[in-house]
Amino acid sequence: MSNVPALFDHALLAARRSRALAQPVAFADAGFLRQSALFDLTERLDAVNRSFAHSLDVDAPDRALAEALLATGKVEKVSVGTGFAGADIDRPQDETGLPLGDSKDRSGRYDLITSVLSLQFANDLPGVLIQFRRALKADGLFLGAVFGGDTLVELREVLLEAESEVLGGAAPRVLPFGEVRDMGALLQRAGFALPVADIDTLVVRYGNPLRLLSDLRAMGATNILKSGARRPLRRDVLLRAMALYKERFSEADGKVPATFQIVSLSGWAPHESQQKPLQPGSAKTRLADALGVAETPAGEKTGQ
């Protein structure tokens, strides 16, 4: 097991997801962010010129992505893992309930691993990505999506200020989200070849900030930080936060924005067939020749 401190209460995450899934209409209405991420992931998969025999979708609340992967015609079989929303676990698990890649017969099992808007709940994200890479066959592909650093920046600001103002101190109420440059570095650190991290910013406009909170509850995406999840948000703090939200962020038509950043991740399990960068000094053509200009030795000024 990892010695990384547990930031997130995964049992609470499972309970809140179960409550959200029990209201399928509200869950579907509030699921526009996940639907956008699912669509983007399948488009990225469609651009890959190969097929995948066995895929694992980690920490999926339902089979939406599994069905979308099968519909592409590029994936033959999709297993759906319990992942972080399983009871009291902090590493992704597949359908057998065993941690990924912990034994030789499970290493290199999958051709494709996917995860959409769940990796931000990992207590040990570097360790999770290493597990993914080990669980992939050589030249297997990982595709994921996580929330980026500016997600819910408006809500984070007003909750901290309101709680500090009313109570003289504040507990974190919004999850910390990683920066895109850090995500790319983690993929490389985990041993993925050709790592890519791209970011897309979406701004959703609400008539009232309380509607944003309603959507977050319907998604099962409310606070699961162990430092703050057990301390209920007082009504007077909430009302002050909503007032600050309107005062600070209202637009000309009275609506308020909510920022969401989605970081798309991809990386390959290393294989000898993959493209590799040239070694320094191995170029056979000078840059000056390629550009059609005269080469100027270092230390000399042009035009003399």
- Domain map (residue ranges) of the chain: 10-291
Cα distance between residue 125 and residue 96, in whole Å: 21
User: How many residues are listed for the chain in this entry?
Assistant: 304
Instruction: Yes or no: say if 142 and 148 are a contact pair by the CB < 8 Å rule.
Output: no
pLDDT value of position 1 = 44
pTM over 0.85: no
- pLDDT tens-digit readout, 185-238: 999 999 999 999 999 999 999 999 999 999 988 887 777 777 655 567 889 999
Averaged pLDDT of the chain: 81
E-assigned strand segments in 159-220 = 193-206
Q: For 259-282, what is each residue's pLDDT tens digit?
A: 999 999 999 999 877 766 555 555
Residues 6+ apart with CB under 8 A from 75: 45, 51, 52, 55, 69, 112
Burial class (CB in 10 A: 0-12, 13-18, 19+), 121: buried
pLDDT-derived band at 284, boundaries 50, 70, 90: low
CATH, range 10-291 = 3.40.50.150
Quickly count helices (H) and strands (E) in the chain: 10, 6
* Helix %, strand %, coil % of the chain (to 5): 40, 20, 40
